[in-house]
Amino acid sequence: MINVKFYDSINDEKIKFAVIVSQFNGKWVFCKHKERSTYEIPGGHREVNEKIIDTAKRELFEETGAVEFNLFPVSIYSVIGKTRVNETGEESFGMLYYAEIIRFDDIPASEIEKVVLFSQIPNQLTYPLIQPKLIEKVINSNFLKLKFKK
């Protein structure tokens, strides 16, 4: 069982990763990992002494090649339950961002095979019990409500 919770604040040192729900020209941005047949929201783990905003910027570039974008913090969130990246199932914390990507460059050499743009959220998600909740949180966030109701 997977449980996703959202928080207004938490001690910064508990935030271990950043996830960036993104759009480019009105389409959802997803990554396709070389070893999986599913799609993922860009994101990844925070490095030692790295600010979480810098984690988000770095991961967005590394996984999509985005070089020009507007980045907005949405919410702190946690996941409780065993996942591919959390074998213990203990509560782990991340920072959720929304990015409006303006310009891409080539994707740096990494585990990402390609970036795919979707008009709607794809069904083949790597984390189907987590990613839809994060996307819903972004869509329902106060600063994005007007954009998505158009």
b/e string for 89-109 if b means 16 or more Cβ within 10 A? eeebbbbbbbbbbeebeebee
pLDDT at 84: 66
| Mean pLDDT, all residues of the chain | 91
pLDDT band at 144 (very low <50, low <70, confident <90, very high): low
Q: For the chain, which domains are there?
A: 3-148 (3.90.79.10)
> Is 95 within 8 Å of 72 (Cβ atoms)?
no
Q: For residue range 60-103, what is the model confidence (pLDDT) as tens digits? A: 999 999 999 999 999 999 999 877 666 777 889 999 999 999 99
Q: Give mean pLDDT, residues 4-10.
A: 94
CA distance 32 to 42: 10
Phi and psi, residue 110, nearest 5°: -165, -165
Give the angle subtended at the CA of 82 by the CAs of 79 and 85, to the nearest 5°.
Answer: 80
Q: For residue range 124-134, what is the model confidence (pLDDT) as tens digits? A: 999 999 999 99
Q: Roughly how many angstroms between the first and final C-alpha of the chain, as a whole number?
A: 35
pTM beyond cutoff 0.75: yes
